Amino acid sequence: GIQVEQSPPDLILQEGANSTLRCNFSDSVNNLQWFHQNPWGQLINLFYIPSGTKQNGRLSATTVATERYSLLYISSSQTTDSGVYFCAVSTIYNQGGKLIFGQGTELSVKP
């Protein structure tokens, strides 16, 4: 099955710094989502981005489907950005809504 790898596994930043999180996947995808898991465990949707570039405030994401990777950019980080960021994908071989998750990047933003 498809493999999803996220890097780095951990990241510590000072407030105000910028960061780039990476998601590599081993097969063609038709669904790619980025999530932020808050301290209470809920997965918050950030982007639905199987290809192309999107921006939402201080966050932006780019997926280069032909090269099988996606990047999540966080600019001017804030302490509230702390948490785990997950990339999840689905392929044409999946029936229905099965998402395959990466292992996540744990981000800690220090004041």
Partner 1 sequence: KAGVTQTPRYLIKTRGQQVTLSCSPISGHRSVSWYQQTPGQGLQFLFEYFSETQRNKGNFPGRFSGRQFSNSRSEMNVSTLELGDSALYLCASRLVAGLAGNTETQYFGPGTRLLVL
DSSP string across 25-72: ESS--SEEEEEEE-TTSPEEEEEE-SSEEEEETTEEEEEEGGGTEEEE
Residue from 86, 105, 107, 109 in contact with partner 1 (CB under 8 A): 86
- Residue 30 interacting with partner 1 (CB under 8 A): yes
- Integer-rounded Cα radius of gyration of the chain: 13
- Gap between the Cα atoms of 51 and 63, Å rounded: 5
CB 101, min distance to partner 1, A: 4
- Residue 28 interacting with partner 1 (CB under 8 A): no
Stretch that binds partner 1, among 16-24, 52-60, 66-74, 86-94 (CB under 8 A): 86-94
Give the 3-state secondary structure of residue 96.
coil
- Residue 24 interacting with partner 1 (CB under 8 A): no
CB 80, min distance to partner 1, A: 18
Residue from 3, 9, 10, 48 in contact with partner 1 (CB under 8 A): 48
Distance of CA 85 to the CA centre of its chain: 5
Residues near partner 1 (CB under 8 A) are 30-31, 33, 35, 40-45, 48, 50, 86, 88, 90, 94-104
